[in-house]
Amino acid sequence: MKTTMLVSLLIGLIGVTSAGQVRADGTVDWNRYYSHAESNAIMEAWVKRHPKFARLMTIGKSYLGADLTVLEITNQETGPASEKPALYVDGGIHSSELTSGALALQFAGHLLQGYGKDAEITSLVDTRAFYVRPKFNPDGSDASLLRGVSLRSSVRPVDSDGDGKMDEDPSEDLNGDGYITQMRVVDPKGDRRPSTEDPRVLVRRGRGDKGPFYRVMSEGIDNDLDGQINEDGIGGLDLNRNFPRNWALPFKQGGAGPFPLSEPETHATVRFITDHPNITGILHNHTSGGFVYRLPSACDPAMFDSNDIELVKTLGNKFTELTERPVRPSSTHATRHRYGTLISWAYWDRGIIGWVPELWPGLGRSELEAFRYQDEKLGGRYFVPWTPHDHPTLGKVEIGGLRSRFIRSNPPQELLEAECALHIPWFLWLAQRSPLLKMSEPVLKRLGDGSVAVSADVENVGYLPTHLTLRGLEAKVVKPVVAHIELRDAKVVNANLVDDAGRSVVGHLRGSYALQGSPEGSSGSARWVVKAYAPGAAVSVVFASDTGGTVRSKWIPLPAK
Ligand SMILES: [Ca+2]
Ligand SMILES: [Ca+2]
Ligand SMILES: [Ca+2]
Ligand SMILES: [Ca+2]
Ligand SMILES: [Zn+2]
């Protein structure tokens, strides 16, 4: 069973063709969901079109061997990405949450198309870097998009019902219409009845209601004859429970994998973020709900420093201001606690503030409103009329109902671009909130003995402190600002606090946000005494911060007598 399913999954993936989706003017139709191959083709076309700004990286392979691709965006002429504060943006950790990946891709397109036209974007691409990963989990996203498979995250087989068999009972498209919808069967004990306002809609049965009553199941058969229909479909892991901080065993939380970072998709993420200490913020996109989850996440909120939470709330308030949508803490589900999330790991182990935008509030408040909308605006194409079907074990059933993937769980294509675009101003605003170093012109002063004192000041003109959060400071996971001097035909004869590598530690610098507990002062300085040993001697001063970028002076000749 396992092998057959994997083979059919692979065939499904190979069957994808990557048509050219980028138009001659560089634009892309954002009212479309793209497969992993199409998404990669779009990013490859951008790299060809904008070689100065875009670079494609493969950071690992998925469970089925697909490339895990990240698009790096920055202006190479103003310095490499590694020397600039960066924002990490992903989507698609959860397979059917396809809007999240669409937003990541659209965000990258917005940056590339906006450069040179929009002053804010031009400045951001010149001074910051972006790492955009539209398909966190390409196997699962393609299974959902291309084959309508229902699965939470990765396609790695899991025995979800504990019967010793893995993925033995997925859903089946019994009526062959290309969709997995619902089956309803008349049952006096059923908990549903047709709505009096719209008989196509099944609502919860109330006390004293009149029949007929229905039992509703997802479309399929009981493949393993255990009495349950569709109880163990493809996959079963939740990759956003597989991160190493506060990871939990299955007795506390299912689907988290056998051990932290057991999965290639999560391992590549932790490797990538750790290897890119310039990342100052994480946008880990999901769907649906129409709000943003903030820290604290995946552990007791009391463990979090209240000053860090104040900072998180301040940053989140801007989202509400820009979108009129709420921000909610991620850890207050008493009954549904989460463990091992990406943003929890990023905060505790890297000091980074991460966010979980849950896109798409849905169509209206009730199922009835969704039906009405799809009737009036979407040509009725998301409803499959209830049609009799002879089920092999249940006998007479009806198959039909709402095709919910692109109406309830994700927006219909017509609304996709607008839903994603709503979030972009806040993403840009967050990118601007990074720390950012700026240095003064070094001052050179000739001393009596013929040596030259070189001094320079540096300031964090950004918003966040260079340590990002108090967690980043206290756990020493974000490095302080350091200075060093580059020399031509000169040597350092005395230096203020120079370490073995010739660097002077400036320390952490506060930004314009007054984070309680952050070191005082947003500026620092460094000083060296140097001596020329040949004519034409010159120096250049460099201040480097993982999170605030690297700034360099030009080469300055040492003053002659
Ligand atoms: Ca099973
Ligand atoms: Ca069907
Ligand atoms: Ca079964
Ligand atoms: Ca079973
Ligand atoms: Zn999700």
Quote the pLDDT of residue 363. Answer: 86
- 227 φ, ψ (degrees, to nearest 5): 90, -5
Could you tell me the distance, in angstroms and rounded to a whole number, from the CA of residue 167 to the centre of ligand 4?
A: 8
Could you tell me the distance, in angstroms and rounded to a whole number, from the CA of residue 232 to the centre of ligand 4?
A: 6
Could you tell me the distance, in angstroms and rounded to a whole number, from the CA of residue 218 to the centre of ligand 2?
A: 10
Any residues with CB less than 8 A from the CB of 275 and at least 6 apart, and which? none
Could you tell me the distance, in angstroms and rounded to a whole number, from the CA of residue 227 to the centre of ligand 4?
A: 8
DSSP state for residue 440 in the 8-state scheme:
P
Can you say how many angstroms the Cα of residue 509 is from the centroid of all Cα atoms in its chain?
27
Could you tell me the distance, in angstroms and rounded to a whole number, from the CA of residue 11 to the centre of ligand 1?
A: 23
Q: Which ligand is nearest to the CA of 218?
A: 2
Could you tell me the distance, in angstroms and rounded to a whole number, from the CA of residue 91 to the centre of ligand 5?
A: 9
* Through-space distance between the first and last CA atoms of the chain, rounded to whole angstroms: 85
Q: pLDDT under 70 in the chain at which residues?
A: 1-20, 332-337, 495-502, 561
CB 14 within 8 A of CB 36: no
Task: Report helix, strand or coil for 110.
Answer: helix
Quote the pLDDT of residue 15. Answer: 37
∠ CA 462-464-467, rounded to 5°: 120
Q: Which ligand is nearest to the CA of 165?
A: 1
Question: What are the C-alpha distances in Å from 64 to residues 34, 101, 551?
Answer: 19, 19, 42
Q: Strands, DSSP E only, in 270-350?
A: 279-287, 291-294, 327-329
Could you tell me the distance, in angstroms and rounded to a whole number, from the CA of residue 196 to the centre of ligand 2?
A: 25
Quote the pLDDT of residue 233. Answer: 96
Could you tell me the distance, in angstroms and rounded to a whole number, from the CA of residue 92 to the centre of ligand 5?
A: 8
State pTM to two decimals. Answer: 0.94
Could you tell me the distance, in angstroms and rounded to a whole number, from the CA of residue 13 to the centre of ligand 1?
A: 24
Could you tell me the distance, in angstroms and rounded to a whole number, from the CA of residue 431 to the centre of ligand 3?
A: 48
Could you tell me the distance, in angstroms and rounded to a whole number, from the CA of residue 404 to the centre of ligand 2?
A: 12
Strand order through the sheet with 86-91: 54-61, 67-73, 129-133, 86-91, 279-287, 353-359, 291-294, 327-329
Could you tell me the distance, in angstroms and rounded to a whole number, from the CA of residue 169 to the centre of ligand 4?
A: 6
- Where do the H-state alpha helices sit in 128-161? 138-147
∠ CA 294-408-175, rounded to 5°: 140
Quote the pLDDT of residue 501. Answer: 65
Could you tell me the distance, in angstroms and rounded to a whole number, from the CA of residue 393 to the centre of ligand 1?
A: 20
Q: Which residues surround ligand 3, an ion (CB under 5 A)?
A: 169, 222, 224, 226, 228
Could you tell me the distance, in angstroms and rounded to a whole number, from the CA of residue 228 to the centre of ligand 4?
A: 7
Quote the pLDDT of residue 11. Answer: 41
Q: Which ligand is nearest to the CA of 162?
A: 1
Q: Which residue has the tokens 């009981």?
A: 222
Could you tell me the distance, in angstroms and rounded to a whole number, from the CA of residue 245 to the centre of ligand 3?
A: 35
Q: Nearest-CA neighbor of 431 among 287, 549, 298, 305?
A: 549
Q: Which ligand is nearest to the CA of 342?
A: 5
Report the DSSP pairing between strands 129-133 and 86-91: parallel
Could you tell me the distance, in angstroms and rounded to a whole number, from the CA of residue 88 to the centre of ligand 3?
A: 41
How far apart are the C-alpha atoms of 168 and 161, rounded to whole Å? 10
What kind and span of H or E run contains 8?
A: helix 2-14
Could you tell me the distance, in angstroms and rounded to a whole number, from the CA of residue 99 to the centre of ligand 2?
A: 23
Q: Which residues surround ligand 5, an ion (CB under 5 A)?
A: 94, 97, 286
Quote the pLDDT of residue 404. Answer: 86
How far apart are the C-alpha atoms of 293 and 325, rounded to whole Å? 11
Q: Which ligand is nearest to the CA of 177?
A: 2
Question: What are the C-alpha distances in Å from 136 to residues 89, 92, 132, 398, 529?
Answer: 10, 5, 10, 37, 50
Could you tell me the distance, in angstroms and rounded to a whole number, from the CA of residue 164 to the centre of ligand 1?
A: 6
What kind and span of H or E run contains 320?
A: helix 306-323
How far apart are the C-alpha atoms of 224 and 428, rounded to whole Å? 50
How far apart are the C-alpha atoms of 254 and 298, rounded to whole Å? 14
Could you tell me the distance, in angstroms and rounded to a whole number, from the CA of residue 230 to the centre of ligand 3?
A: 6
Could you tell me the distance, in angstroms and rounded to a whole number, from the CA of residue 94 to the centre of ligand 5?
A: 5
CB 104 within 8 A of CB 133: yes
- 94 φ, ψ (degrees, to nearest 5): -100, 125
Could you tell me the distance, in angstroms and rounded to a whole number, from the CA of residue 247 to the centre of ligand 1?
A: 23
Task: Report helix, strand or coil for 232.
Answer: strand
CB 237 within 8 A of CB 258: no
Could you tell me the distance, in angstroms and rounded to a whole number, from the CA of residue 408 to the centre of ligand 5?
A: 14
- Where do the H-state alpha helices sit in 324-404? 342-350, 367-377
Could you tell me the distance, in angstroms and rounded to a whole number, from the CA of residue 182 to the centre of ligand 2?
A: 8
Enumerate the β-bridge partners of residue 550: 544
What one-character-per-residue DSSP string does 394-426 give?
A: TEEEEEEEE-GGGTTTS--HHHHHHHHHTTHHH
Quote the pLDDT of residue 295. Answer: 95
How far apart are the C-alpha atoms of 22 and 219, rounded to whole Å? 37
The pLDDT tens digits of the residues spanning 497-523 come to 566 666 899 999 999 999 999 999 999
Could you tell me the distance, in angstroms and rounded to a whole number, from the CA of residue 166 to the centre of ligand 1?
A: 5
Quote the pLDDT of residue 8. Answer: 46
Q: Which ligand is nearest to the CA of 409?
A: 5
What is the chain's alpha carbon radius of gyration, rounded to the nearest angstrom? 28
Question: What are the C-alpha distances in Å from 215 to residues 85, 122, 188, 366?
Answer: 54, 57, 9, 20
Any residues with CB less than 8 A from the CB of 512 and at least 6 apart, and which? 461, 462, 463, 522
CB 356 within 8 A of CB 333: no
- Angle in degrees, 0-180, between the axes of helices 138-147 and 36-49, rounded to the nearest 10: 110
CB 367 within 8 A of CB 203: yes
Six-digit token string for 498: 């120079």
The pLDDT tens digits of the residues spanning 103-159 come to 999 999 999 999 999 999 999 999 999 999 999 999 999 999 998 899 999 999 999
Could you tell me the distance, in angstroms and rounded to a whole number, from the CA of residue 88 to the centre of ligand 5?
A: 17
Quote the pLDDT of residue 498. Answer: 67
Q: Which ligand is nearest to the CA of 164?
A: 1
Could you tell me the distance, in angstroms and rounded to a whole number, from the CA of residue 118 to the centre of ligand 4?
A: 55
Could you tell me the distance, in angstroms and rounded to a whole number, from the CA of residue 93 to the centre of ligand 5?
A: 7
